[in-house]
Structure 1
Amino acid sequence: MTIVDATTTPPCASEPADYHDEQLHSPPARANITAAEWERLSAKRAAVHRQCAGCPLMIDCLYRAVVEVDVSGYAACTTEFDRQQIRHRLGIVIQQPSAVPFGAARVGGGPVSHEAVMTMRHAYPKDTCHQLADRLDCSTSTVKRHLRRAREQKHDESLLPRESIASRPSVDAVLDCFDELESSRVA
């Protein structure tokens, strides 16, 4: 008797470099890159989107990324902004982790301020998060956290703070909102 293991590895786990590309989840403005670069980026995004859409875990991944955990990057055929739009439509508020820093303080300079990260982003708008982190002598995750905070503040300026809702939306409600996103029709 032969036992067949029907589990499959999601494409994001078997080819993580494709899904960690910063330009997938924070694409540059069309005017800031050449036509050839735009075509390469569009083709890569479409290929990753098709692989992600074909994953047997996609629905569960989407639901968890929208309702349970505020993940960063490209996940379940969505960017951070896409998931934020879905949450807004469904009235979901993800509780952010404690602001207490983990680990030891940076040696020689203390933590990097939000203003320092935003000033550096303004001075070098085409730099990747990794390049900005090198310039600031901090981690890439620190830069990403501050950039996410700036995006959330910009988006939430017109919104009043809301209480977290006790009931979770259905999977169908999340999928309906996903279907309404322009980015859901990439491939």
Structure 2
Amino acid sequence: MTIAIETPVPPCAHEPELFEEVAALSAAADEPLAVVSERLAVAHRSCAGCPMLVDCLYRAVVEVDVSGFVACTTEADRASIRRRLGIEVSQATFAPYGTARLGGGPVSHESVMAVRQSYPKDTCHQLAERLGCSTSTVKRHLRRAREQAQQEAAAAPAVDRRTPTVDEVLDAFDALETSQFA
């Protein structure tokens, strides 16, 4: 006797091109609103019928800051839910890569921060040109400064940062206008 266990395949795995298209359309400013709304509604209905929706929504809101269309929500929807719940989800930190710079030696962290202080409106590319290094080097140093600031903020007296329950996340989701698509 053979026992077959069917594992449900979520719509995003079964038809990923639909969800990738919705994410791209949402980011594109030149697409007609009717086209974006129609594709978003199709993806929303498909996603809403998924047996993994609740777990997917909870993880996308509380645990991992993902991009694109996930669990019937856009990035803006998830940000709205987080604001309503009073939570923040930090980006995953990546170990810094080695320098990709030729000649001239490494750029010090202090140099990057001093140039950022002097030219706060410059892009990372412009700062890199001023320093004679790569854009990724500037980004790495700015990320390091942000992470240090976050660690210092985390070391400050703790505010009640409890993790929301699944029901609280679902209630915040239900309050979204976009949750009415399906």
Q: Same fold (TM over 0.5)?
A: yes
- Specify whether residues 44 and 164 from structure 1 end up closer, same or farther in structure 2 by C-alpha distance, changes over 3 A only: farther
Matched, 1:23 2:24: yes
Equivalent residue letter for 2:24:
Q
CA contact (8 A) 2:56 2:71 kept: yes
- Residue 178 (structure 1) aligned to one of 173, 177, 180: 173
- Tell me which residue corresponds to 2:77: 82
Whether 1:70 aligns to 2:47 is no
What residue is the counterpart of 1:115 in the other structure? 123
Q: Counterpart of 1:23 in structure 2: which amino acid?
A: A
1:167 aligns with 2:162: yes
Contact kept in structure 2, 1:86 and 1:174, CA below 8 Å: yes
CA deviations on 1:92-141 (whole Å, 9 max, x unpaired) are 1112333754x455578xxxx98268xxxxxxxxxxxxxxxxxxxx9xxx
Identity across aligned pairs (percent)? 46
Q: Which of 1 and 2 has greater Rg?
A: 2
Contact 2:62 2:89 in 1 (8 A): yes
Task: Tell me how large the CA RMSD over aligned residues is.
Answer: 3.5
Matched, 1:43 2:38: yes
CA 1:180–1:96 in structure 2 vs 1: closer, same or farther (change >3 Å)? Answer: same
Amino acid in structure 1 at the alignment position of 2:73: T
Gaps of 5+ in 1: 118-137, 143-161
Checking the alignment, whether the CA contact within 8 Å between 1:11 and 1:55 is kept in structure 2 is yes
Give the gaps of 5 or more residues in structure 2.
103-115, 117-121, 126-134, 140-156
- Give the corresponding residue for 2:112: none
Quote the offset at 1:18 in angstroms.
1.5
* Equivalenced residues, count: 140
| Residue deviations 1:38-59 (CA, integer Å, cap 9, x gap) | 3332221111111101000000
1:3 corresponds in structure 2 to 3
- Taking the aligned partners of 1:76 and 1:163, their CA distance within structure 2 comes to 31
* Distance in 2 (alpha carbons) for counterparts of 1:164 and 1:64: 22
